[in-house]
């Protein structure tokens, strides 16, 4: 990293016959149901001119998979044809809104979230999607990682009950929905605890008991293994009967789900397992060789694997549930002089809620009485509690540490900051990463290829080489077990969910897996100066008394002069005077001298505060000013101009020196005496320099500061924080051009700003990161990623998390693919028994990829910033899955 910065020149929607849009995540296992590009039509009434249409079109084009865009300004509609394996209708709506235009929805449209805990893999989601395809819904979003199905429908032609019937008709139980009062749609922890005592688990354990009894008769109590029955001429012994009972108990759910898969034309794990188990039983009856043990083992182990998969998925779901659980269900409200406890969704904006020490704040609001330290870590990620006094903003889910607070509610329960965070984290799953799109494309070919291989293994050796039918049928059935790519397909979304929820708990809101992936791959970061590298607030940095005045004398005069000014510099001076308890002076005849400063009478004497040029006009010799103290400026090298040894040359020494540090200089005095100098600046954030260093340690090649501020200030700030390059005096459109140049040069650039003034640059960057977004709707909506607090140290954490998430995704993809491939290749040689295919290829890999993904929750912002640079801090970003 260079010591001095380089100065640069300035510079899923499905179109039904009824014409409504339909969004879904394409299930790669639906190889029997090939889909074409999807079409969505959006109502954008504010898009009423060619310029508006151009902005909308350019914004939407940034998404991958866009085939055609047709904006109609005369009707205010936007028609988009897109590949739903690469993007979604929700992502398109988001890009339109990022361009600054609202997307209208039909007043009769309603959205309901259904809780479907058994939907824990892409295969399950595919069956539900097929069922929803058969009814008149507008859009849907299946989320295996949360167990939720979000459906938007036209209430004038469809009801929530009909949607419920469709989902349950696909073979999945709904445990709750947002349309039904009193049902807990988010109680994931309760569902996770009940996995091992669920009806399926009980059936599995009973089935396992019968398998164990069958083995006992088969190998230990052989003399008791009597012939009990015959069926179509085949003898059935006691062990066979026990194995068949085990198949009937454990296989009930398997065959039921397989039936629904066949009904919905889904070549998924349930259908494949049904064929494998049924095929083993039929082969045993046809060839007269007992394959009942293999079939019973397959049914039992697959049921166990399904329970393990459910448990593993619930671990991932629980990370999001922890966010949901932050907000209390009830609030203590002051009504008619009494305190009453009511559900939070019954509290209205403007009501007063009472929060006692140790309680969670139930709703967003402003403190109207009391003082306390509030732990905002659940929302902003700040590790230190923040002092709150009347007028300060507080967030739902934060914890009142020690004092009594009364809070005036500013947002209802469904519209507070925490609710929006949870909603955005859930919605983020709809934005598929590039690697997830690769997995979807690959898995669409994987399943039919392995099934075909299994058929060949079962038929060719017996027919061509005279091999044993029973042996090779078992091999073929084993390959059917390996044909489902569940672990492979779930490897990416479970990593994305783990990364996004981990970030949210640390005060970083990532609004899509695509943004998580992109952030880990950028090589350049652009930062705004004001409010990002600096605090965004002017503060007094230097006070230099002159002519035997004291610092308090200078502040007292400056405070009086600035007390009637509305300039930010005046506010900074007044704040410093208040901090030092400097007394007031009697102010009269105030006058603002445009472009120069201010004038007023203080205790009857005319005083001035302003630029050096103002005092030159008043006749002062600024090259020869006496100082009462060196003020940290005068040194032994200062030229002595008169007999006194403490003399300042303001024009050639002091003022240029302060300005070179990026400070604004204010002189204070009367018509006859210069009383002092005050320097004001937007101070650099204390962690800015360390943050820049850490980003370089982690592998960022170029960090550039973009600012509209003057060249002198930009140079000073850039040198202080250690960026590689800076560009000053930029207009908003010039910032956009700078981002485009960086993107062309480095192939990916992140822009960090405040989310409001930098909106165009944030939208142009590969990833837009807004700081201090908590409580700021604009920042939350504009940015791809939001740092909820004004904490620059979260930036290295964000980059490290994103990079590690990409690494975990790669590990999960290739390890699950390698395991499946090696097992499949070993089957024809008799090296892989059916139990290994189930436990290793299915349950084992699903559990492994989920556990690997959960490692992302261990990354800590505090530990990362303090860690010494190591070899691993210079990561090899690897290659993207473009095909």
Just list the catalytic residues.
528
Give kind and range of the element (H or E) at residue 79. Answer: strand 77-82
The answer to whether 312 and 145 are in contact (CB under 8 A) is: no
Contact 809, 856 (CB under 8 A): no
Q: Find the helix packing angle between 845-854 and 486-505, rounded to 10°.
A: 20
3-state class (DSSP) for residue 765: coil
Contact status, residue 24 vs residue 12, Cβ threshold 8 Å: yes
Copy the structure tokens of residue 353. 């809620």
646-654: Cβ within 8 A, 24+ apart: 648/544, 648/546, 649/622, 649/623, 649/624, 649/625, 650/612, 650/622, 650/623, 650/625, 650/677, 651/612, 651/622, 651/623, 652/623, 654/544
Task: Check: CB of residue 742 under 8 Å from CB of residue 526.
Answer: yes
Token pair 């924080």 in the structure block, residue: 721
Classified as helix, coil or strand, 385 is coil
Q: Name the percent of the chain in helix, strand, coil, to the closest 5.
A: 45, 20, 35
Which residues lie closer than 8 Å to 439 by C-beta, 6 or more apart? Answer: 28, 488, 489, 491, 492, 813, 881
Instruction: Name the DSSP letter for residue 360.
Output: B
Chain centroid offset of residue 182 CA? 29
Contact call for residues 166 and 145 (beta carbons, < 8 A):
no
CA-CA distances (angstroms) from residue 295 to 1, 131, 534?
Answer: 64, 30, 68
Where residue 10 falls (left for φ over 0; alpha for ψ -120 to 50; beta otherwise) is beta
Contacts of 494 (CB under 8 A, 6+ apart): 145, 313, 316, 812, 849, 850, 853
What is d(CA 138, CA 154) in angstroms, rounded to the nearest whole number?
A: 7
Instruction: Return the sign of the alpha-carbon dihedral for residues 323, 324, 330, 334.
Output: positive
Which SS3 state, helix, strand or coil, does residue 657 take? helix
Who contacts 566 (Cβ-Cβ below 8 Å, separation ≥6)?
none
The SS3 of residue 509 is: strand
Burial class (CB in 10 A: 0-12, 13-18, 19+), 248: middle
């Amino acid at each position: 990293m260079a010591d001095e910065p380089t100065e640069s020149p300035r510079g899923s929607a499905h179109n039904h016959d009824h014409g409504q849009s339909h969004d879904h995540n394409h299930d790669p296992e639906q190889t029997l149901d090939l889909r074409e590009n999807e079409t969505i039509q959006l109502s954008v009434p504010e898009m009423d001119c060619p310029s508006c249409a151009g902005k909308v079109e350019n914004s939407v084009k940034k998404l991958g998979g866009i085939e055609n865009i047709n904006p109609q300004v005369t009707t205010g509609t936007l028609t988009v044809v897109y590949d739903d394996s690469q993007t979604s209708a929700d992502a398109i709506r988001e890009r339109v809104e990022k361009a600054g235009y609202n997307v209208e929805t039909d007043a009769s449209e309603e959205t309901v979230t259904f809780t479907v805990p058994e939907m824990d893999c892409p295969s399950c989601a595919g069956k539900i999607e097929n069922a929803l395809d058969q009814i008149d819904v507008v859009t849907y979003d299946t989320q295996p990682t949360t167990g939720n199905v979000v459906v938007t429908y036209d209430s004038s032609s469809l009801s929530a009950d009909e949607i419920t019937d469709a989902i349950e008709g696909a073979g999945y139980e709904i445990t709750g929905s947002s349309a039904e009062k009193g049902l807990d749609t988010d109680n994931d922890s309760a569902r996770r605890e009940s996995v091992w005592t669920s009806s399926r688990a009980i059936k599995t354990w009973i089935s396992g008991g019968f398998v164990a009894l069958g083995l006992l008769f088969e190998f230990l109590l052989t003399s008791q293994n009597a012939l009990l029955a015959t069926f179509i001429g085949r003898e059935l012994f006691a062990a066979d009967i026990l194995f068949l009972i085990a198949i009937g108990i454990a296989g009930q759910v398997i065959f039921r789900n397989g039936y629904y898969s066949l009904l919905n034309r889904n070549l998924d794990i349930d259908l494949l397992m049904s064929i494998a188990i049924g095929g083993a039983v039929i082969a045993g009856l046809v060839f007269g060789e007992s394959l009942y043990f293999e079939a019973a083992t397959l049914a039992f182990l697959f049921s166990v694997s399904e329970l393990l998969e459910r448990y593993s998925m619930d671990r991932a779901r629980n990370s999001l549930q922890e966010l949901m659980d932050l907000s209390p269900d009830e609030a203590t409200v002051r009504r008619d002089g009494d305190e009453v406890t009511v559900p939070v969704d019954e509290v209205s904006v403007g009501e007063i809620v009472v929060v006692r020490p140790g309680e969670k704040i139930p709703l967003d609001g402003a403190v109207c009485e009391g003082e306390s330290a509030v732990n905002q870590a659940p929302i902003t990620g700040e590790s230190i509690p923040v002092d709150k006094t009347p007028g300060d903003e507080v967030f739902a889910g934060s914890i009142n540490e020690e004092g009594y607070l009364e809070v005036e509610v500013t947002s209802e329960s469904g519209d507070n900051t925490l609710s929006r965070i949870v909603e955005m984290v859930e919605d983020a799953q709809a934005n598929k990463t590039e690697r997830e799109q690769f997995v979807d494309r690959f898995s669409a070919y994987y399943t039919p290829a392995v099934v075909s291989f299994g058929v060949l293994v079962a038929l060719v050796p017996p027919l061509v080489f005279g091999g044993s039918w029973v042996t090779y049928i078992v091999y073929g059935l084993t390959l059917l077990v390996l044909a489902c790519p569940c672990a492979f397909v779930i490897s990416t979304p479970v990593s994305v969910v783990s990364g996004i929820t981990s970030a949210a708990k640390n005060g970083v809101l990532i609004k899509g897996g695509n943004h998580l992936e992109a952030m880990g791959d950028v090589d350049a970061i652009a930062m705004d100066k004001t409010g990002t590298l600096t605090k965004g607030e002017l503060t007094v940095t230097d006070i230099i008394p002159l002519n035997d005045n004291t610092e308090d004398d200078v502040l007292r005069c400056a405070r009086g002069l600035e007390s009637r000014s509305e300039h930010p510099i005046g506010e900074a001076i007044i704040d410093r005077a208040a901090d030092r308890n400097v007394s007031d002076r009697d102010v009269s005849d105030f006058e603002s001298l445009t472009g120069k400063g201010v004038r007023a009478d203080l205790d009857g004497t005319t005083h001035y505060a302003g630029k050096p040029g103002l005092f030159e006009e008043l006749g002062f010799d600024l090259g020869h000013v006496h100082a009462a103290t060196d003020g940290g400026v005068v040194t032994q090298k200062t030229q002595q101009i008169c007999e006194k040894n403490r003399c300042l040359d303001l024009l050639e020494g002091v003022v240029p020196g302060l300005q070179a540090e990026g400070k604004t200089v204010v002189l204070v005095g009367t018509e006859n005496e210069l009383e002092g100098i005050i320097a004001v600046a937007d101070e650099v954030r204390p962690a800015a320099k360390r943050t820049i260093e850490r980003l370089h340690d982690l592998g960022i090649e170029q960090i550039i500061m973009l600012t509209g501020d003057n060249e002198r200030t930009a140079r000073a700030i850039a040198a202080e924080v250690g960026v590689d390059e800076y560009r000053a005096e930029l207009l908003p459109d010039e910032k956009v051009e700078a981002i485009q140049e960086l993107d062309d040069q480095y192939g990916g650039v992140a822009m960090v700003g405040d989310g409001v003034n930098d909106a165009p640059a944030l939208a142009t960057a590969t990833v837009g990161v807004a700081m201090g977004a908590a409580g700021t709707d604009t920042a939350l909506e504009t940015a791809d990623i939001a740092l909820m607090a004004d904490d620059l140290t979260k930036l290295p954490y964000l980059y490290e998390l994103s990079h590690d998430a990409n690494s975990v995704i790669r590990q999960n993809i290739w390890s699950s693919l390698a395991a499946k491939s090696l097992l499949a290749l070993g089957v024809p040689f008799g090296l892989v028994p059916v139990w290994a295919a189930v436990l290793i290829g299915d349950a084992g890999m699903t559990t492994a990829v989920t556990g690997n993904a959960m490692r992302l929750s261990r990354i800590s912002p505090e530990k990362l910033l303090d860690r010494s640079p190591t070899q691993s801090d210079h990561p090899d970003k690897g290659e993207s899955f473009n095909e």
